[in-house]
Amino acid sequence: MTGPQEVNSAWRPALSRSVVLRHDRVRDTDLLVLPERVVVLRGSAGSVLRLCDGANDVGAIVATLAAQHPGAPVADEVPVFLGRLRAEGWLT
């Protein structure tokens, strides 16, 4: 398994079976619902995770987000973010 800094661009991330992405309409924020835990997502984290469907590889996710957010450091930040979530066991 690769560490949080090392993510293969061909990897097709998907949420782990025990993890659910939800949008809390009251707080207008995205949440990761895990067994006995809820993680409040900040910024565009929910947008990134919506693309983690097991069909999109990291390269496609980065390309999609780069088109949506021109000038943002997507290519540097998104793979690191996905690697961290993978290390937590939230992505497969």
User: Across all residues in the chain, what is the average pLDDT?
Assistant: 93
Token duo for residue 8: 């293969």
Instruction: Give yes or no for residue 31 having a pLDDT over 80.
Output: yes
Q: Please, what is the angle between helix 74-88 and helix 58-68, to 10°?
A: 130
What is the H or E stretch that residue 40 is in?
strand 37-40
pTM: 0.89
Spatial contact of 40 and 87, defined as CB atoms under 8 Å apart: no
Per-residue confidence at 1, pLDDT binned at 50, 70, 90? very low
* DSSP string covering 46-90: HHHHHT-BSSS-HHHHHHHHHHHSTTS-HHHHHHHHHHHHHHHTS
